[in-house]
Amino acid sequence: MIRQAALAILCGLSLLLASLPAASAEPGISLAEAINIAGRQRMLSQRIVKSYLQMGQDIRYRVARRHLQSSIVLFEQQLNMLKAFTDDPETSRGLALVEKLWAPVKAVATGPVRRENAKKLREDAEQLLAAAHQVVLILADQSGTEQGHLVNIAGRQRMLSQRMGNLYMLMSWKFDDELYQQDYKVATREFDEALQELINSNENTPEISDLLRRVQQNWNMYNLSNRMDGDHFVPGLVARMLDKILTQMNQVTGLYAALPRE
């Protein structure tokens, strides 16, 4: 019944999020799959901010609204799945904190889109991201395998794609904060470094290696197009390219999670 309900919800999500592999709260779920699901929560915290900022600037408004609504649904669905998956006290405490920090993010994200709420949404999402990341680290530590490490790193790339997106949208909406510029540079560097680590992994199957090559190609194109010269921004192009990278990195993460258990 749980799996049927989850699939019913997923069917109504946007095309991008509908492509994400459905999670299951049934006992047969592997730890690698749980890491994948928990890692996706990190991405959703950033995707919600990016979509909200796009709507505020009327950038691909209808697409952004679908992404915002589906991200909210998926975040809550996956939170319930993770709570059902674990009886570990440390993980449960981590998830309780995630649930607490989710409330203010949801409150702003489901309300009217206003410029004056944008900074608060991002600040709340930053706390949520930190708590969600801690859950991933707890699960990855429980795994203690190279597979768990790769699922964590690949899953974090999904988050970084959306983090770069929301920071770019803040700057394109004329939020003149040096911290945003610094965070953007850090996210860009971390994505590039992690991508090279994944490409060089000995655990890669031919399918994973092929996908990572395509991610590298899109990443190279993105670095040529993410212009921020003075007032010259291209947020629509940036949003499309980062969403494409997100889709590919989600596929990579799913493939790592599906590797034979060690």
Which segments of 57-177 does DSSP mark as H helices, in order? 61-85, 89-109, 118-143, 146-172
Percent of the chain with pLDDT strictly greater than 90: 80
Domain ranges across the chain: 2-14+29-257
Q: What is the pLDDT of residues 22-58, one digit of tens each?
A: 444 345 578 999 999 999 999 999 999 999 999 999 9
- Structure token digits, residue 122: 């991002």
140, amino acid identity? A
Q: What is the pLDDT of residues 67-99, one digit of tens each?
A: 999 999 999 999 999 999 988 999 999 999 999
Interatomic CA distance for residues 81 and 31, integer angstroms:
13
How many other β-carbons are positioned within 10 Å of the β-carbon of residue 70? Answer: 23
Measuring CA to CA, which residue among 51, 94, 93, 92 is closest to residue 73? 51
pLDDT at 53: 98
Q: What is the pLDDT of residues 33-42, one digit of tens each?
A: 999 999 999 9
Stated pTM of the model: 0.88
